[in-house]
Amino acid sequence: PRVAIVVVAAGSGTRLGADMPKAFVGLDSRTILRHALVQVAEVPDAQVIVVAPEGREGDALTDLLGALGDDRDRGSVVAGGDTRQRSVAAGLRAVWPDVEVVLIHDAARALTPAAVFARVIGAVDAGAAGVIPVVPVVDTIKRVDNEEIIGVVDRSLLSAAQTPQGFRRDVLDAAYRAADAEFTDDAALVADAGYTVATVAGDERSFKITTPADLDRARALVTRADA
C-alpha cells in the first residue's frame, strides 16, 4: 500500500480511571479501539498498524481482525512503549517499505469520521510535508499566573490539534530519527525537525476520550448512531 495508518492504543488511561487499559473500555458492545478501527478500515487499501499495551497484543488483534474482516492481511499489531512518542516509534518500525504516506492516530479519538482521514491524505498528496486536523478553540482563553489574569490571548489565532496527523513517510522517519526530546504531538516533533506542517478542518466528533465525562459523551453518541 501507499498509505499506512498507525493507531496508538498503548496508553493506560490514568485519567479515565477504568480497571483496564483505555483502548479496551467498551462504548457499546464494542471497545474504544474497535470503534476507532472501524473508521480506519474505511480508508481504502491502507496498511493498518495497532500499537497495543505490552501483553495485550492478542486483544488488540481481535479488534483489528474484527474491523478489517476479509482484509486482514493489511493489519498488524506491535507492542507500545511507556510514552506516546515511544509507541509511535514502535509503530513506525512496522511500516512496509513501499508506503509513502503515514498517518498517526489516537485510538482514544474513537469516533473520528472516515472523511477526516481522506482530508489528511489528500493534503499530503497535494504536497504538504505534514498536515493535522484542527478545530477552533471555543472557550475564551486567559493567561494566568499565580491565580491572576496576566494577559489576553487572541482566540482567532488558536486552534486545537487533533489526529490523524499525516506526513510524508521520509519526513516522519527523518524527524523521529532526529528527535531528542518529548513532544506533545507528532506535528510538534516534525516542526522541530524543520518541516512546515499544514492544517485541514478537523471534526467535533474527533474529540479524545480522556475523562469519565468524555466516555459518557462517546457512549451517548454511539447509542444515538445505533438507534
CA gyration radius for the chain?
17
Q: CA-to-CA distance for 186 and 130, rounded, in angstroms? A: 9
Q: Which residue among 46, 76, 80, 185 contacts ligand CTP (CB under 6 A)?
A: 80
- Cβ-count burial 101-123 (b if 16+ within 10 Å, e if not): bbbbbbbbbbbbeeebbebbbeb
> Is position 2 an interface residue for ligand CTP (rule: CB under 6 A)?
no
* Cβ 224 to ligand CTP shortest distance, Å: 23
Helix (H, G, I), strand (E, B) or coil at 38: helix
Residues 9-28 as x/- pattern, contact with Mg ion by CB under 5 A = --x-----------------
Taking contact as CB under 6 A, which single stretch among the options 41-49, 82-90, 140-148, 165-173 is the one that binds ligand CTP?
A: 82-90
**DSSP-assigned letter for residue 22:** G
Our finding on whether 164 is near ligand CTP (CB under 6 A) is: no
Considering the rule CB under 6 A, would residue 83 count as an interface residue with ligand CTP? Answer: yes
CB 198 within 8 A of CB 123: yes
Min dist CB 213 to Mg ion, Å, is 17
Residue 52 C-beta: closest distance to ligand CTP, Å: 8
C-alpha 201/C-alpha 136 separation (Å) is 9
List residues binding ligand CTP (CB under 6 A).
8-15, 22-23, 51, 80-84, 87, 106-108, 208, 210
